[in-house]
Structure 1
Amino acid sequence: MTIRLNDANLSQIAAKPGYDRAALTGGIVHFGLGNFHRAHQAVYLDRLMNLGQGHDFAIIGAGVMPSDARMREALAAQDNLYTVVEQSAEASEPRVIGAMIDYLPAADAAAIVGQLADPATKIASLTITEGGYFIDANTGHFDPTHPAIAADGANPDAPKTVFGMLVAGLKARRAEGTPPFTVMCCDNIPHNGVVTREAVVETARLSDPELADWIAANVAFPNGMVDRITPATSDRERAMIRDDFGIADDCPVFAEDFIQWVLEDNFPEGRPALEEVGVEFVADVTPWELMKIRILNGGHAVIAYPSGLMDIHFVHEGMENPLVRAFLDKLEADEIIPAVPPVPGTDLNAYYAKVAERCANPKIGDTIRRLCLDGSNRQPKFIVPTINDRLAQGLSVDGLALESALWCRYCAGVTDSGAVIEPNDPNWDRLTAAANAAKADPGAWLGMADIYGVTGADPRFAQPFAKWLGMLWQDGTAATLTAYLKG
């Protein structure tokens, strides 16, 4: 028998919340209710609520884009309940998550701003993707001239962006004498609190410089490192939740059993006691952030592009390919891990071993295409800084140059077998043109200053890049990996 997920049917589901959802009150407004948030922050809160704590920190979701309407409708039909299935290589464990009590639509900015202004709201959190922060690729800083931001600057009382809404909520609290909420970024970007602070302050400055200065002086923006592999949900996952666990859930999330959150403890108006359920609170998150971004996220790129070029579909299948796995192991050991500063209480080699184990988990169903997505935004964050650090120390970047060449070759839009690679980046047309031009002139790729800065012109990087790219076109991915592994 299949049970339709909603409050009325919870008593029939074994893996249900162990707390009274009717007694929860909202304390967190969260922007971006995608799979990662629902399998990460919301899971930690659900665990805490099951301990009888944090019941005044329930999540009130806030739509970001018009496209969020479909998710909002699906969750509303389930009383904002959904199932997270945690998957190890050996087992799959479902858990119904009840930490969210409402989901405000993107079209109703007034309701979102009103909730932000409510004194009960202590935290505004965000998972709006790495590309959602209006970063100018040339400067690396927030772009207040972006049309969407400029529109909010001109119409601050009718905001449409996340940052405009945050500014409006803080403006209302200041006018009412209510202390400001903490803004907690949960996106996978370096120094995410610093990045979010700049976006909020500079958005405010467009319409009210005095308010901008007040925000800069009074609002907390803690940095955090978040980690959990969470693939997209498809009909495959909806069928699995129905067939394997008897739950009719239109919004399930399947995730690995590993989860990590390291967070700076800067919450002036209070926070849930998340340390009770495994969140690490630290004074400075930078060491953990660098470790994760370089070893895990950089490692994902190392797996992604050779696998994509060899028509490998799933990440665990890439890890089963001896060339891909050996390339990952060698590049991590030789160039990536040595560029990661020490992390308190952490063995970097053991951390990498866990990363490799996670990527090899066959239950997750994570796709190579997902790892290949949005390289124009990810490579400058996850790969290029490691290249720069090694060049500054006079060290080899031969393997990182191969990774960059593989990304270039992937963006040419066709695999080694001749299969078409469908657009997989917001800048796909530009990347494809540059990648095909680079077949004859590697500088056509390395000249993208928003990706490589001055690094593309450094012969210590440009020469091995050109060597590997030529070999990829002439001999193919497998032969090129073999040549690299032979040294």
Structure 2
Amino acid sequence: MTVKLSLASLNDAAATAAVPAYDPKSLTPGIVHFGVGNFHRAHQAVYLDDLFNTGKAHDWAIIGAGVMPSDAAMRDKLKAQDFLTTVVEQDNNKTAARITAPMVDIIAPDDKAALVAKLADPAIRIVSMTITEGGYFIDAAGNFNPKHPAMVEDGANPTNPKTVFGLIIAGLRLRRERGISPFTVMSCDNIPGNGHVTENTLVGLAKLSDPDFAQWIHDNVAFPNSMVDRITPATGPRELDILRQEFNIDDNWPVFCEEFKQWVMEDKFPAGRPRLEEVGVQFVPDVAPYELMKIRILNGGHAAIAYPGELLDIHFVHEAMEHPLIRAFLAKLEKEEIIPIVPPVPDTKLDKYFDLIERRFLNPKIGDTIPRLAQDGSNRQPKFILPSTRDRLAQAKDIVGLSLVSALWCRYFAGTSDSGRQIVFNDASAEKLHEAALKAKDNPDAFLAFDEIFGEVSSSALFRERFAHALKTLWTEGTAKTLQLYLADQLVR
């Protein structure tokens, strides 16, 4: 018989899953987290659950928050099961389920007054966020974009904010008015220098309405940089069925993920923090080498295989890695163009790190999908691929493979795979990218005209030449043949 997940059913669920060693009702909140999606519940929440299981830090529970319609749906589903989550960790050789309970509430997205009041609560010492790369209102160079419509609106209406950053500013303002020290703002997103980016956006938005308060934020609020890593696919019918059939648990929104996880952070928490180093979090003086390694090699690798996978009608990531052309393409790209320009990382061999990435991508149990990797490219390409292109160009190095990645992305946005299958886009800029990709079949520069995506890279004559030739080859020869030419060092006219 299937166990419907709730606090009352934890003892029954313990027959097939690990359950908390602590009483969830004894927890008190110390963190407000924006973006209670799968990654957060497979990563930050799991680390906290590990720490709570040692009997420590029970005053650091999480209150969830968000501003999107999906956040309201998540709240409804998790509230119905007392904010518990079943996390299924899948390695090549084993699968194990655990029930985590570090979250004690989620504030409804339309209850802004309650959220701002909670942000002003002295017990809240950290405000963290997993809001995806597109949620920071930055341009291709990583700078705050004050002209973004959402920032313009929040800047003009600071007392009625609609964005995560507007709400955080409102909470900080109320704390200052009440003489309460500010919380630490901690980004958990895959953005280079995510702490710096978060500060720039928060301060930049505050300047639009109150420059003096913006300076106060800059002078008083901490923004630690961090690197986060765990492959966590979306939850669908497949995952719900596995949980019911293999673990006899009915969870409204379980999380499936790989066994591997990593979190590297700067120790900048003047308001205090849980002792996460006791459960595997690395605190280091400088996160930059770790995050650059991960963003360029892992996230860049995901972006590299996503579009040939889509064009060749491959659904799962492990299936793409089992395709000899795609796996060889990734290895050549990484070893010849990406890894050579990644700076050294303490106690890490980059070739061994890539070997680990390959094994993780090949994990057949994760069920991670190519459509997930292909989504939101307008935000991911400028962060995961184009910086490597830019750095190689600055060093007068060739960019045949990286240009091919950009050309594959363009070909993908033409809207059909090599077989003629209609591609379903998931990108805020999909309409204009699709239009430009169709024009690029005859005029490749049409796709490179998006300065907010390509930035200075599009001004390189070498990049435009390599991109145009790769795109033409994709259209005339198809994806498989183009990959073969690249692997044979023949994708150069």
**Same fold by TM (over 0.5)?**
yes
Q: Quote how far apart the aligned CAs of 1:462 are.
A: 1.7
Q: Which residue of 2 aligns with 1:21?
A: 24
Q: Unaligned 5+ residue runs, structure 2?
A: none
Alpha carbon RMSD of aligned pairs, Å? 1.2
Tell me, in whole angstroms, the C-alpha distance in 2 between the residues paired with 1:126 and 1:453: 27
> 8 Å contact 2:125–2:183 — kept in the other structure?
yes
Tell me, in whole angstroms, the C-alpha distance in 2 between the residues paired with 1:69 and 1:261: 27
Tell me, in whole angstroms, the C-alpha distance in 2 between the residues paired with 1:310 and 1:9: 45
The correspondence of residues 266-305 of structure 1 with structure 2, limited to 5 A, is 266-305=268-307
Instruction: Say which of 410, 427, 443 aligns to 2:429.
Output: 427
Q: Quote how far apart the aligned CAs of 1:154 are.
A: 3.1
Q: Quote how far apart the aligned CAs of 1:133 are.
A: 1.1
User: Residue 17 and residue 135 in structure 1: after superposition, are their counterparts in 2 closer, same or farther (change >3 A)?
Assistant: same
> 8 Å contact 2:28–2:58 — kept in the other structure?
yes
> 8 Å contact 2:65–2:71 — kept in the other structure?
no
Tell me, in whole angstroms, the C-alpha distance in 1 between the residues paired with 2:142 and 2:24: 43
Tell me, in whole angstroms, the C-alpha distance in 2 between the residues paired with 1:143 and 1:328: 33
The correspondence of residues 406-417 of structure 1 with structure 2, limited to 5 A, is 406-417=408-419
Match of 1:453, SS state, is helix
Q: Quote how far apart the aligned CAs of 1:471 are.
A: 1.1
CA deviation profile, 1:447-477 (whole Å, cap 9, x unmatched)? 3222222322322222222221111111111
Between 438-447 and 377-386, report the one with greater CA deviation: 438-447
Q: Within the alignment, does 1:33 sit opposite 2:39 as a pair?
A: no
Instruction: Say which of 204, 207, 219 aligns to 2:206.
Output: 204
CA deviation profile, 1:419-451 (whole Å, cap 9, x unmatched)? 111223211121112112111121112232222
Give the structure-2-normalised TM-score: 0.96
Match of 2:135, SS state, is helix
Tell me, in whole angstroms, the C-alpha distance in 2 between the residues paired with 1:70 and 1:122: 26
Q: Within the alignment, does 1:130 sit opposite 2:121 as a pair?
A: no
Tell me, in whole angstroms, the C-alpha distance in 2 between the residues paired with 1:64 and 1:286: 29
Between 305-314 and 453-462, report the one with greater CA deviation: 453-462
Instruction: Say which of 166, 171, 174 aligns to 2:168.
Output: 166
The correspondence of residues 468-479 of structure 1 with structure 2, limited to 5 A, is 468-479=470-481
Q: Within the alignment, does 1:184 sit opposite 2:186 as a pair?
A: yes
Tell me, in whole angstroms, the C-alpha distance in 2 between the residues paired with 1:111 and 1:401: 48
> 8 Å contact 1:66–1:107 — kept in the other structure?
no
Instruction: Say which of 346, 361, 364 aligns to 2:363.
Output: 361
User: Residue 463 and residue 288 in structure 1: after superposition, are their counterparts in 2 closer, same or farther (change >3 A)?
Assistant: same
Q: Within the alignment, does 1:42 sit opposite 2:37 as a pair?
A: no
> 8 Å contact 1:183–1:220 — kept in the other structure?
yes
Give percent identity, aligned residues only: 60
Tell me, in whole angstroms, the C-alpha distance in 1 between the residues paired with 2:66 and 2:94: 34
Q: Which residue of 2 aligns with 1:195?
A: 197
> 8 Å contact 1:447–1:457 — kept in the other structure?
no
The correspondence of residues 415-454 of structure 1 with structure 2, limited to 5 A, is 415-454=417-456
Q: Within the alignment, does 1:391 sit opposite 2:374 as a pair?
A: no
Q: Which residue of 2 aligns with 1:102?
A: 105
Q: Quote how far apart the aligned CAs of 1:213 are.
A: 1.0
Q: Unaligned 5+ residue runs, structure 1?
A: none
Amino acid across the alignment from 1:12: D
Q: Which residue of 2 aligns with 1:462?
A: 464
Between 396-405 and 216-225, report the one with greater CA deviation: 396-405
Match of 1:454, SS state, is helix
> 8 Å contact 1:446–1:457 — kept in the other structure?
no
> 8 Å contact 1:402–1:465 — kept in the other structure?
yes
Instruction: Say which of 230, 241, 244 aligns to 1:242.
Output: 244
CA deviation profile, 1:196-226 (whole Å, cap 9, x unmatched)? 1112112222332221111110000001111
Runs of 4+ that moved beyond 6 A: none
